[in-house]
């Protein structure tokens, strides 16, 4: 019997995947591990992959790691038919991972809409995938750090415009390792940032259109899935330059819809430095504003994820930390009472992690929340959140006035920096968390690949 080395044992335990895939030669091509000659050209042997540290967990156990086929820059994560779909921040595409064994994720496909087209956000339901197509902003501007992206209107940011695709693409994923594009809705402008679609007739899209300062709300009718149609748009005053509106946004601040999440006939919008809105969407062709509040100032801003908890008449709203080394102060996640949708009231904040000094390096503070999608883990008392360098945090909000942290996982520092901006620190940046019904957590990182965790609460 041949004895395994400790390195080999850890590699098998973690189920590491270390395939370095080359992107397809043409836009919208699909590379598959099976039956695609040359799809694995340049692949490096799994034994050559470094075994990363497993991070530090409290009531969260580390199961495995994947560098996502050599593209570790992950943002939004979706799960369908035991496959994981992860959109990339810098790599212009979507990687598909076979997650039949979560301890051994296997890259089985890669989709790209073309060079300079960022497809970092996606939604999955009913064996269909809706994909945001937009400009790879980092490749087309002169930002040298993180803050500049968050402190300028999108329309004023592009300094080196290149060819890209802008709009909504729809894909058949009934064969999970493939993304077969069945429709494309063009949106002239800089494209989509993010979208919400839990299935059904309407998708709620954050999109930039020519003539606007930044991303606005766009509602898309999917009655005929092969012929999606825009039925309405909504924006905050001052965003429509083409109509002669004048922005009053102070320099160094950015007003843009990050995205909207819906619950019944209500839509909840996060507008970065523009605050939080609640809409009546009983008629999707005429979304009606019910309320608009903004807690910035005095808080830093960056409102990012508006998670409704309709059974409790609450919303949990995360402000995205967007400056390194706490340069803008502490970003918060608010618990908001929405019993009277015309008058939402913040009643608490989730406690900021204090198990170490996270301000010394990298970005510290909220990024995203697990969004209680149909088919995933759903709770109105247990909230899963990503906190950039502080990793994953789990909160108990049974007492909405006194939330408490009940579990955490702090990731290791990535081995290399994928973000091309010159003045960005090499540090962990936990971006998204998708939680399955049995507490399995798929956690992406802008630079550090995907970690699979098990919640043990």
Q: What angle do CA 303, 306, 312 make, to 5 degrees?
A: 140
Which residues have a Cβ under 8 Å from the Cβ of 171 and sit 6 or more positions away?
A: 111, 128, 129, 130, 131, 179, 180, 181, 182
Residues in a beta bridge with 87 = 94
Confidence (pLDDT) at 12 = 38
Q: What angle do CA 399, 405, 406 make, to 5 degrees?
A: 100
Q: Which CATH superfamily is domain 6-455 in?
A: YVTN repeat-like/Quinoprotein amine dehydrogenase (2.130.10.10)
Backbone φ and ψ for 80, nearest 5 degrees, come out as -155, 130
Confidence (pLDDT) at 52 = 65
Q: How many helices (H) and strands (E) does the chain have?
A: 2, 30
Confidence (pLDDT) at 214 = 98
- Rg over alpha carbons for the chain, rounded to the nearest Å, is 21
pLDDT digits (tens, 9 = 90+) for 335-379: 999 999 999 999 999 999 999 999 988 999 999 999 999 999 999
pLDDT digits (tens, 9 = 90+) for 290-300: 999 999 999 99
Going by the DSSP 8-state scheme, the letter that residue 42 receives in this structure is T
CA dihedral 243, 246, 247, 248 (to 10 degrees): -150
What is the full per-residue pLDDT of the chain (457 aa) written as tens digits? 333 343 343 333 333 333 223 333 333 334 333 333 223 223 333 333 454 678 999 999 999 999 999 999 999 999 999 999 999 999 999 999 999 999 999 999 999 999 999 999 999 999 999 999 999 988 888 777 768 788 889 988 888 889 999 999 999 999 999 999 999 999 999 999 999 999 999 999 999 999 999 999 999 999 999 999 999 999 999 999 999 999 999 999 999 999 999 999 999 999 999 999 999 999 999 999 999 999 999 999 999 999 999 999 999 999 999 999 999 999 999 999 999 999 999 999 999 999 999 998 899 999 999 999 999 999 999 999 999 999 999 999 999 999 999 999 999 999 888 988 888 889 999 999 999 999 999 999 999 999 999 999 8
Confidence (pLDDT) at 298 = 96
Q: What is the DSSP string of 225-243?
A: TTS-EEEEEE--TT-BGGG
pTM for this one? Answer: 0.89
């Amino acid at each position: 019997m041949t004895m395994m080395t400790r390195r080999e044992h850890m590699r098998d335990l973690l189920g590491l995947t270390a395939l370095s895939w080359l992107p397809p030669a043409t836009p919208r091509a699909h590379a598959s591990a099976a039956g695609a000659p040359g799809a694995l050209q340049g692949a490096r042997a799994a034994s050559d992959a470094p075994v990363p540290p497993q991070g530090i967990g409290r009531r969260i156990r580390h199961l495995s790691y994947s560098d996502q086929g050599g593209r570790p820059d992950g943002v939004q994560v979706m799960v369908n038919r035991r496959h994981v779909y992860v959109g990339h921040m810098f790599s212009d595409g979507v990687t598909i991972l076979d997650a039949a064994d979560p301890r051994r994720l296997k890259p089985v496909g890669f989709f790209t809409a073309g060079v300079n087209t960022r497809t970092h956000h996606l939604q999955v339901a009913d064996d269909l995938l809706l994909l945001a197509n937009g400009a790879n902003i980092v490749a087309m501007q002169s930002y040298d750090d993180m803050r500049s992206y968050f402190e300028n209107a999108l329309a004023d940011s592009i300094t080196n415009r290149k060819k890209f695709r802008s709009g909504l693409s729809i894909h058949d994923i009934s064969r999970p390792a493939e993304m077969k594009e069945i429709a494309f809705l063009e949106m002239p402008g800089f494209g989509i940032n993010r979208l919400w679609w839990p299935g059904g007739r309407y998708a709620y899209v954050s999109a930039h259109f020519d003539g606007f300062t930044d991303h606005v709300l766009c509602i898309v009718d999917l009655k005929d899935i092969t012929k999606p149609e825009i039925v309405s748009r909504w924006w905050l005053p001052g965003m429509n330059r083409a109509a002669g509106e004048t922005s009053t946004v102070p320099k160094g601040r950015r007003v843009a819809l990050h995205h909207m999440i819906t619950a019944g006939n209500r839509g909840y919008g996060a507008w970065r430095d523009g605050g939080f809105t609640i809409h009546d969407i009983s008629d999707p062709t005429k979304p009606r504003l019910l309320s608009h509040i903004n807690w910035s100032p005095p808080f830093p801003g960056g409102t990012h994820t508006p998670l409704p908890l309709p059974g409790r008449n609450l919303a949990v709203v995360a402000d995205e930390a967007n400056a390194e080394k706490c340069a803008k102060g502490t970003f918060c996640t608010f618990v908001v009472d929405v019993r009277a949708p015309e008058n939402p009231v913040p009643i608490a904040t989730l406690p900021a992690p204090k198990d170490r000094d996270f301000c010394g390096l990298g970005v510290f503070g909220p990024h995203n929340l697990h969004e209680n999608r149909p088919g995933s883990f759903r709770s109105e008392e247990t909230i899963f959140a990503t906190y950039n360098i502080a990793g994953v945090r789990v909160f108990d909000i049974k007492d909405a006035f006194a939330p408490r942290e009940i579990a955490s996982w702090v990731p290791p520092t990535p081995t290399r920096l994928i973000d091309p901006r010159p003045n960005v620190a090499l540090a962990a940046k936990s971006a998204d968390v998708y939680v399955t019904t049995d507490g399995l957590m798929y956690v992406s990182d802008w630079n550090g690949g995907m970690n699979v965790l098990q919640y043990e609460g």
